[in-house]
A and B are shown apart, each in its own frame.
Chain A
Amino acid sequence: MLVDPTKGISLTRCIRVGDLVVAYERHDTMKAVKVCDSLVLQNRFGVFKHLDWIGNPFGTKVFSKKGRFVYILAPTPELWTLVLSQRTQILYIADISFVIMYLEIVPGCLVFESGTGIGSLTTSLSRAVAPTGHVCTFDFHEQRVASAREDFERVGVSHLITVGVRVQGEGFPDEFSGRAHSVFLDLSQPWLAIPLAGKMLKPDGILCSFSPCIEQVQRSCETLRSSFTGLVEVLLSTYEVREEKINCFQGYEGGSLVCPPCKKKQRPSEGSNVQKNLCSPVVMARPSGEDRDHTGYMTFARLRCL
């Protein structure tokens, strides 16, 4: 995912065979594709040959025979999260970005995560610790562990992530005791893992437990006791933007009824008392209806310094 230290970031590099790209149709429809000269991408806009993309820069607009288009973008963890979100319920960008900041994750950190789930957060964690840090992530589901490994390989971050199997109640690897900067838990019964996770943390290291239900939070807090530092919920509302022509009315008395004063001068109309004018178009924003609601509560704690 373009974190190659030898080349630095060079987004003017052209698309090559073997690259993972994101084919962007709309803000809520996009697909991750591995470029291969013999394959095509097929969607409701038509057929797109990979061959046509090769040699062009990222960000290019490509057309199908039908004349419809998609954009070919370089993958980022945000785009990856959006791609994955079409598969299943996961952590979204508001939660991910807040967690990374609160957990003070910077290049070189060692971070533990359990469960991996679909790897959406894991990818963002790997970006934050690159190039010298590492993410150790665990899931109880062997199939998921295997898929996650494949995904990280595709996205090019497998050198930063180690995926393992860990069942509920089992501890984390002893060799890393006291070495983790932060731990993230997304489990159905986090209170079982909290003491085990605590063993992994350095003093003043931070833990985050993500739970959809308040009962899970309360039980987790009982286990955390005075290490608890905060409980938070984050969301993103989105706005849509449109240009509108507003109707301005002048009432009988000459006072305007509805909107801010018109730029256009009042022109006497033929025999009508009510004058209707169109103001120059105004750009307006309003909340969009597609907002996501509750994802989960994030409980934070710090390991005491002794």
Chain B
Amino acid sequence: MSQNKVQSEPIQNPRVTWEGCSVLLDVNNGDRLLFARLSPGATLKIGNKNCSLHPLVGCPFGSLFQVENKKEGPNLCRFVPSTEDNHVQEKGDCPIKKETKDNRAIIDNNKAQSLSGEDIDAMRRHGATGDEIVEALIANSATFEKKTSFSQEKYRLRKQKKYAPRVLLRRPTSFSICEAYFKKYPIRIGFMREDTLSLLLSMANVTANSDVLVVDMVGGILTGSVAERLGGSGYVCNTYLGSTPPPMDIMRMFNLNYETCMRVVRCSLNDLCSVHNGIFEQFDQHEDSSNAESQTSQTTVSETTIPSVSKSCKPPKAGENASEKLLKLWKENGFSSLIIAAPELDAWSLVKDLLPVLSYSAPFAIYHQCLEPLATCMHNMQLGKMAIGLQISEPWLREYQVLPSRTHPCMQMSAFGGYILSGTRIHSNLFSSE
């Protein structure tokens, strides 16, 4: 294998954080998910205290931190769990011993713990680590020994989450961003689940050097995901109805580099179609469309305050208006694919106008929360012979927990991922071999 053709670093998205970058913080193993920016002075509220996020700068994505009580206040410290830590499955080295205990003798009367709140505060003031407090609580619990090993594990975990909370530093990617939003604020992304988003990207053949047309009314997550897959080549043109582009806030969480951002452009539907139809109009430069990116709006998924971002930490601007040169290029060649995620718009009206600006043999994928608009759209496309390979799919995703003797699907399953209408645009010219 030749070494020189095997690259080791993607064009964007480094593996180590830097000042001003966007991060996804996972507190206590999924209990709380929030986006933050590592600007100077940024903090994270845990319990009722604020911790500085400064220790996270310069650390690899995937690092784990634990809140430790220091004299100056709570501090996030880099933490590497030992291999005996965390999961009961570690103890699965020895054969699973038969559980002899059960909880019949345990009475829940709130009297089992002999350490009081003041005792714990005193321990904190003396510099006890979170783990030491957890051990002390276990030692002072009258019922701990009587619990089953599963119960003991749950108890330890509960105490650890409260007294020694852990924060996982995660990289924002289309997957982690979509997963976080779907869990916490699904309405912001039109209830588009992560498997649904992944299908849109595949069905529309999003790849480097393609020119993808998107209608994104899901906060910018679609545009960001397409841009991430383009990796600094090709273009993603974000088109919209009316004269005001919809918000693209979620795109700012992606840590897209300069080159990639420059290739995210916008154009109103009117302008796009009129250029395509040969009516060259003087389209006005919408001043507010570029300003939409530089707003320091509250876009996190939780209550963490984002301090005002200093100039050096500002993410590169994306979403400039498409130049005339680009529009002419697209008029000649067409777009290589189309993705629509606009839960409040009618699919057919959009498709009617947008399909003609695609290249022939270009794939498209349309997402909707409801089946009916897609069924109508598909039917009309069949009647108009506008596309082939038309298919309406409903993605289905089931997650499982895997633990010794406790492997089963997760207790809550999302029944809701929406629907996708996909197909390929065809050339309507009839050609016969005779």
User: Could you list which residues of chain A lie within 8 angstroms of chain B, going by C-beta atoms?
Assistant: 3-5, 8-12, 24, 27, 48-49, 52, 56-65, 71, 73-74, 76-78, 93-94, 96-98, 100-102, 104, 106-110, 124, 127-128, 130-134, 136, 159, 162, 164, 173, 175-176, 179, 181, 202-204, 214, 217-218, 221-222, 225-226, 228, 230-241, 243, 283-285, 297, 299, 302, 304-306
Contact = CB atoms under 8 A, between A and B. Distances in A.
B88 to A, nearest CB: 10
Nearest to A58: B361
Given A62-B431, A63-B432, A128 B229 contact: yes
Nearest to A81: B202
A238 to B, nearest CB: 5
Contact of A107 (B85, B208, B401): B208
B100 interface: no
Given A107-B10, A133-B7, A302-B62, A237 B393 contact: yes
Interface stretch (B68-76, B144-152, B230-238): B230-238
Nearest to A103: B175
B372 A285 contact: yes
B371 A97 contact: no
A162 B1 contact: yes
Nearest to A217: B402
B90 A11 contact: no
22 contacts: A3-B207, A9-B211, A61-B426, A61-B427, A63-B434, A76-B363, A98-B194, A101-B198, A109-B10, A131-B208, A136-B1, A175-B1, A204-B60, A225-B90, A231-B401, A232-B399, A232-B400, A233-B397, A236-B395, A237-B394, A283-B376, A305-B61
A179 B9 CA distance: 9
Given A107-B232, A305-B64, A78 B427 contact: no
A101 B360 contact: no
Interface of chain A: mostly helix, strand, loop or mixed = mixed
A238 B207 contact: no
Given A65-B434, A101-B201, A285-B375, 18 more contacts: A11-B334, A58-B427, A59-B359, A59-B360, A59-B427, A63-B434, A71-B426, A76-B363, A101-B194, A131-B233, A162-B1, A203-B15, A217-B402, A232-B398, A238-B394, A241-B378, A285-B374, A305-B62
B3 interface: yes
A202 B8 CA distance: 10
A5 B208 CA distance: 8
Contacts of A24: 388-389
B32 to A, nearest CB: 17
Nearest to B176: A104
B140 interface: no
A73 B424 CA distance: 9
B256 to A, nearest CB: 11
A9 B1 contact: no
Interface in B328-360: 332-334, 336, 359-360
B6 interface: yes
A232 B229 CA distance: 23
Contacts of B15: 202-204
B361 to A, nearest CB: 4
Nearest to A242: B379
Interface in B375-434: 375-376, 378-379, 382, 388-389, 391-402, 407, 419, 424-427, 429-434
Nearest to B363: A76
B60 A239 contact: no
Q: Categorize the interface residue count of chain B.
A: 35 or more
B361 A101 contact: no
Nearest to A221: B402
A231 B361 contact: no
A102 B397 CA distance: 13
Given A9-B211, A236-B394, A283-B376, A222 B60 contact: no
Contacts of B399: 230-232
Contacts of B396: 234-237
B7 A110 contact: yes
B195 interface: yes
A100 B334 contact: no
A106 B13 contact: yes
B307 interface: no
B301 interface: no
A202 B329 CA distance: 40
Q: Which of A9, A48, A76, A306 has the most CB of B within 10 A?
A: A9
Nearest to B89: A225
B228 interface: yes
A18 B399 CA distance: 45
B221 interface: no
A94 B60 contact: no
Contacts of B173: 104
B174 interface: yes
Q: Which of B80, B207, B391, B392 has the most CB of A within 10 A?
A: B207
Contacts of B332: 12
Given A5-B209, A11-B360, A60-B427, A107 B233 contact: yes
A106 B231 contact: yes
Contacts of A202: 15
Contacts of B325: none
Given A131-B233, A179-B8, A218 B402 contact: yes
A127 B8 CA distance: 17
A3 B208 contact: yes
B134 interface: no
Given A58-B361, A59-B360, A98-B198, A214 B205 contact: no
A9 B429 contact: no
A221 B207 CA distance: 33
Contacts of B133: none
Nearest to A104: B173
A60 B359 CA distance: 12
Interface string B231-252: 1111000000000000000000
Contacts of B86: 226
A108 B211 CA distance: 19
Contacts of A134: 5-7
